[in-house]
Amino acid sequence: MTAMAHEPLTQEEVLLEGFLALDTPEGFRAELIEGEIVVTPPPDGDHEKYISRIVRQVIKRSGTDMDFSGNKGLRLRSGESCPKNHVVPDVTFAPLESDLFGGAGSWMACDGVAMVLEVTSTRPRADREAKRRCYARGGVPLYLLIDRDTSQVTLFSAPEKDDYREHCTRPFGKALALPEPFGFELETTDFL
């Protein structure tokens, strides 16, 4: 009997295996972002308030019937020399007709996602930079960032390679236009 030689795992493969084997405490969320394992504690009430206000507007006012999922894991392309990113947006939106979330596993590809939403919390820099790059690399067409530290809402659009080519920022209290398939002005007065 001959033993088959196994190629040693790369550092990226070991990191990905370790990440996928994590068992985080209830309410905590683990993500693999640009080669770093990030564990986030449960969100506070204000964080959830922003999410609730946006989801209600999207459901009521979008030009297309939208489905949404909170805390849905997305597998996204990565940059050079780091494993595939595994990111969990606060909310993922997709057209209802696509039934994108039906039958999806814990981690799904981002094909068909219309927009992701992040509300800053314990690691705002990750939301502003690393996650933005991850979503752009994955081809997510729209990334909506609610930045509680700066009291601003930013919509990133037109993903290309490692970033979004366009962005529009408004202070809390000012409306922000969401393009199709949403097609409405997002009100942010409730964020003040």
**What are the phi and psi torsion angles at 133 (to 5°)?**
-65, -40
β-strands 142-147, 115-119: how paired? parallel
- Mean pLDDT on 104-126: 93
Q: What pLDDT is stored for residue 1 in this prediction?
A: 46
Within 8 A by CB and 6+ apart from 1, the residues are none
Tens of pLDDT, residues 40-90 = 999 999 999 999 999 999 999 998 999 999 979 999 876 554 557 899 999
pTM of the model: 0.89
Q: How confident is the model at residue 4 (pLDDT cuts 50, 70, 90)?
A: low
Task: From residue 112, give the alpha-carbon distance in Å to each of 73, 109, 143.
Answer: 14, 9, 14
Domains, the chain, with CATH or none: 27-191 (3.90.1570.10)
- Mean pLDDT on 22-50: 91
